[in-house]
Amino acid sequence: MIESKVRTAQYLRNFPELSDHLTILEKKGQGTFASVFSVRAKHDEESKRVYALKMLIPTVDVRRIENEVRILRRLGGSYHIIKMHTAWRVRDHVFILMPFISYVPFGEYYLTADETEVIRYMRCLLQALAYIHKYRIIHRDVKPTNFLIDQHTRRMYLVDFGLAHSESYGDVDERWELDCDSYDNKDRRLPASSNNRCSKRSHPSESEKDSSNQPAKTPKLTDHTSPIASFNLPGEIRDRISPVIAGRSPHPENRPIYRAAQNIFPPKLNMSHIQTTQAGAPPIPGNCVCAFRLTVCRVCRQLPRLNVARRGGTLGFRPPEVMMRHVDQTTAVDVWAAGVIFLSFLSGRYPFIKVDDDLDVLHAFTHLLGYERMQACAKTLGRRLLVDPKPPPMNTVDTPCMWLKAR
């Protein structure tokens, strides 16, 4: 009951930091980690332009919030990636302001789309994925409800980077930002005409060409105590983010707080000399003191984390390496999900596989791909796949899509 009250438009109107600058219209959608509201800028009432305000629930991991904001700030607005106008923190909530997309429901689109529309849809989706994969970003939640088609302009947008992360580093941090600069300096850009073919108009404007052919630039951060205080809208919207979330220097060792932390948390620990001490004994600098205590000591908190297989994603769109909990996951996770979307077009089924858990998904793909192929896949991932009863092979005249349509 408390959760439902927090996720209402009336709840947002109680925030003067928001209500002084935005008119909260209505709630448009709700997910596991966030809710989306339609809003209008009070400073620009004449244009009647509507924006989407994404409110992240307070229990979301702050690293996940930082990942999403950094990605949108760096990559948003190009190659069908949704743009982020601004982001700020109010009390325990983080808000992200984005363009509002009046989208076509995929349940209506996939059954009526002709061959040309399907090709255009898949091309735009793969271009968006190719762009973020260039920067080693895994979206992890590619599905039709996260790739929206504007019903007015027919443009397409990849949204919801709440589960996205860096393939190289996990968290999207300063190391990723520095890598992005090196990626931009390399001559590995996508074709200049790639964005134009996904536009409804045959000749896009010059501004669109410029924005589509060049990588998104990282805007400068302004050190405002309250970012909402200088909130400017249409015509004067500036891409910025609250320093509470991402106001970090690319060289953290230059920050005073970093230098002070070195006196508390030594940057390098000689783990070969770690010893345990009894409760009440004075701790030895650099040594573990967890024994006989109910808390984890500072030394152990600095140990590198074990690699844990990520499980994020939507049921039916997760690939075998995610369902089998394999640690080594790459950008191929998103390509698999794009393939599942394509199968929905081909088979006329959405969702493509209607199941309740990952085991049912594995069983369904064992029917489609073959028992031996799925066993080989599991062996590659260091797992064993046993299915009882063994699924019968499809008839030689059947294709996977024909087999599904008959069921």
- DSSP letters along 100-155, please? ---BPPHHHHHHH--HHHHHHHHHHHHHHHHHHHHTTEE----SGGGEEEBTTT--
Given pLDDT bands bounded at 50, 70 and 90, which one contains residue 201?
Answer: very low
Query: Is 264 part of any domain?
Result: no
**Is it the case that residue 219 has pLDDT exceeding 50?**
no
**Is it the case that residue 330 has pLDDT exceeding 80?**
yes
Is there a single domain that holds both residue 59 and residue 137?
Answer: no
CATH classification of the domain holding 40:
3.30.200.20
pLDDT for 76: 93
Mean pLDDT of all residues belonging to the chain: 76
Query: Is 239 part of any domain?
Result: no
pLDDT for 270: 44
Any residues with CB less than 8 A from the CB of 316 and at least 6 apart, and which?
A: 340, 351, 352, 353, 354, 355, 361
Query: Is 271 part of any domain?
Result: no
3-class SS of residue 230: helix
Rounded to an integer, what distance in angstroms lies between the CA atom of residue 139 and that of residue 165? 7
Given pLDDT bands bounded at 50, 70 and 90, which one contains residue 404?
Answer: low
The residue among 230 and 75 whose pLDDT is bigger is 75
**Is it the case that residue 64 has pLDDT exceeding 80?**
yes
* DSSP run (H or E) holding 176: helix 174-185
Is there a single domain that holds both residue 39 and residue 165?
Answer: no
The encoded tokens of residue 279 equal 């409760």
Of 177, 179, 176, 170, the residue nearest 329 (C-alpha): 170
In this predicted model, what pLDDT tens digit does every residue of 222-277 receive, in sequence order?
Answer: 333 333 334 444 433 344 334 333 444 444 445 444 444 444 334 444 444 434 44
Place of tokens 């000749």: 203
pLDDT for 158: 97
pLDDT for 309: 74
Is there a single domain that holds both residue 107 and residue 77?
Answer: no
Query: Is 27 part of any domain?
Result: yes
Is there a single domain that holds both residue 77 and residue 124?
Answer: no
**Is it the case that residue 350 has pLDDT exceeding 60?**
yes
Is there a single domain that holds both residue 56 and residue 165?
Answer: no
**Is it the case that residue 63 has pLDDT exceeding 50?**
yes
The encoded tokens of residue 340 equal 């599942």
**Is it the case that residue 98 has pLDDT exceeding 90?**
yes
Query: Is 66 part of any domain?
Result: yes
Is there a single domain that holds both residue 296 and residue 161?
Answer: yes
Query: Is 231 part of any domain?
Result: no
The residue among 2 and 399 whose pLDDT is bigger is 399
Give the range of the structural domain holding residue 92, as residue numbers without chain letter: 1-99
Contact status, residue 111 vs residue 307, Cβ threshold 8 Å? no
Express as a percent the part of the chain with pLDDT over 90: 38
Task: Answer with the one of 43, 74, 99 that is the final residue of a domain.
Answer: 99
pLDDT for 267: 45
The residue among 24 and 197 whose pLDDT is bigger is 24
pLDDT for 406: 64
Is there a single domain that holds both residue 95 and residue 119?
Answer: no
Strands 240-241, 86-90: parallel, antiparallel or unpaired by DSSP? parallel
Task: Answer with the one of 99, 116, 147 that is the final residue of a domain.
Answer: 99
How far lies 384's CA from each of 67, 375, 393, in Å? Answer: 34, 7, 20
- C-alpha atoms less than 13 angstroms from C-alpha of 179 in its C-beta half-sphere: 16
Query: Is 274 part of any domain?
Result: no
Query: Is 142 part of any domain?
Result: yes
Is there a single domain that holds both residue 77 and residue 164?
Answer: no
Strand partners, 39: 24, 51
In this predicted model, what pLDDT tens digit does every residue of 308-318 receive, in sequence order?
Answer: 778 788 999 99
Is there a single domain that holds both residue 155 and residue 72?
Answer: no
Is there a single domain that holds both residue 112 and residue 75?
Answer: no
**Is it the case that residue 9 has pLDDT exceeding 90?**
no
In this predicted model, what pLDDT tens digit does every residue of 100-141 receive, in sequence order?
Answer: 999 999 999 999 999 999 999 999 999 999 999 999 999 999
The residue among 40 and 289 whose pLDDT is bigger is 40
Contact status, residue 316 vs residue 323, Cβ threshold 8 Å? no
pLDDT for 304: 72
pLDDT for 405: 63
Over residues 368-389, the mean pLDDT reads 88
Rounded to an integer, what distance in angstroms lies between the CA atom of residue 381 and that of residue 321? 7
As for how many domains the chain has, the answer is 2
pLDDT for 395: 64
**Is it the case that residue 17 has pLDDT exceeding 70?**
yes
Over residues 321-335, the mean pLDDT reads 92
Task: Answer with the one of 99, 114, 136 that is the final residue of a domain.
Answer: 99
pLDDT for 4: 58
Is there a single domain that holds both residue 94 and residue 106?
Answer: no
